[in-house]
Every structure is written in C-alpha cells, then in structure tokens.
C-alpha cells in the first residue's frame, strides 16, 4: 500500500500533536524541570549558534534523564542515619555525668535505673527497653565508647579544640 502525501502529512501532524501534548503535560506536571530546561536553553544561547542548539523538547528529555540519574545515585548512597534508641540516650546521660565510667560500672548503673527509666529489665544477656526492643549486652562496650567519643567531640567543639585522629 502506497501512502499519499495527504496521509503522510496527517500522520506527521498526529505525531507532533501527540508529542506537543506530552511535552505540555510534562511542563505542567513538573514546573521545576521546566525552569531547569529554560536555564539550560539560556546557557546554550550563549555558547552555540542558533543552528547548532538542541530543540526545547530534546533539552527537556535530557534534563529529565539527568534528574533520574541523579536521583538513582542519591538513592544508592545509603539509608537515612539511624536515630539513637532509648538505651543510647540513657548511656549518653550517664556518660555526661561520669565521663570516665567503665563498662562494668555502666552495667551496674543501668541495673540501678531498671524500671525507673525507659529500661524495663537488665538480664545477663540483654537489656529490654520500654518500647519492646531487646538489645544484647555484647554491644554495650561499643555503645559506651561511641558515647564517650561523642562527648569528647562535643566538648572539643565547645572549646574550639580539634581532636587528632588516632
């Protein structure tokens, strides 16, 4: 089947109507992308002659692809930083009062705070918190050293001193 010139013109017209509608819809949906597209077009005006500039639609597609790529890279970087749990908060309070506390003394202090604070129970293997979380005692030494390090860091920030890495 051979197409007539009128049919070719109609197909061309239909194609560009659809593309223009998609472009207009994209601009309405994402106005920040359109602002970025216009910035890109203005930058190209300064760098390139009219005949070598990208069409507006191509700039729009490129900006969207660039944003998606940046979003993927941002998502791959990692998860949000975890918030300290109730046990960490308790340890920080204890370390604030007694910066030189040992792990054994910390465990005794936590047992003394049992049922008074957010600590429900301290057993030989773990600590049960009021929110239902069970924290093993094996990580207590690490939590204590992290709390001491944070305290030293905040003290150094307050005095303006810098701690040298060891």
Q: Give the pLDDT of residue 43.
A: 92
pLDDT attached to residue 157: 63
**Alpha helix stretches (DSSP H) within the chain:** 5-29, 31-47, 56-76, 86-97, 103-112, 140-159
| 135 in Cβ contact with 129 (< 8 Å) | yes
Q: Kindly report, residue by residue over 4-32, the tens digit of the pLDDT.
A: 999 999 999 999 999 889 888 888 888 88
Confidence (pLDDT) at 159? 65
Query: What is the predicted pLDDT for the residue at 15?
Result: 94
pTM confidence score: 0.47
pLDDT under 70: residue ranges of the chain: 79-81, 155-166
Instruction: Give CA 48 to chain center in angstroms.
Output: 37
Contact 118, 129 (CB under 8 A): yes
118 touches 94 (CB < 8 A)? no
Determine the pLDDT at residue 40.
92
Is the distance from CB of 150 to CB of 92 less than 8 angstroms? Answer: yes
Q: What is the pLDDT of residue 161?
A: 61
110 in Cβ contact with 129 (< 8 Å): no
Q: Work out the number of other CB atoms within 10 angstroms of the CB of residue 87.
A: 20
CA distance 90 to 106: 10
The half-sphere exposure of 16 on its side-chain side, counting CA atoms within 13 A, is 5
- 56-66 pLDDT, tens digit per residue, is 888 988 998 99
């Amino acid at each position: 089947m051979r197409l007539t010139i009128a049919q070719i013109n109609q197909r061309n017209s239909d194609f560009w109507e659809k593309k223009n509608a998609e472009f207009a819809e994209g601009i309405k949906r994402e106005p920040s992308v359109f602002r970025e597209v216009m910035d890109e077009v203005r930058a190209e005006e300064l760098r390139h002659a009219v005949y070598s500039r990208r069409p507006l639609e191509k700039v729009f597609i490129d900006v969207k692809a660039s944003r998606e790529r940046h979003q993927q890279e941002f998502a791959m970087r990692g998860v949000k930083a975890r918030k300290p749990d109730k046990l960490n908060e308790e340890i920080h309070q204890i370390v604030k009062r007694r910066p030189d506390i040992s792990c054994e003394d910390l465990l005794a202090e936590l047992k003394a705070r049992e049922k008074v604070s957010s600590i429900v129970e301290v057993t030989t293997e773990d600590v049960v918190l009021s929110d239902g979380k069970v924290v093993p005692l094996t990580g207590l030494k690490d939590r204590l050293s992290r709390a001491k390090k944070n305290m030293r860091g905040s003290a150094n920030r307050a005095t303006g001193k810098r701690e040298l890495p060891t």
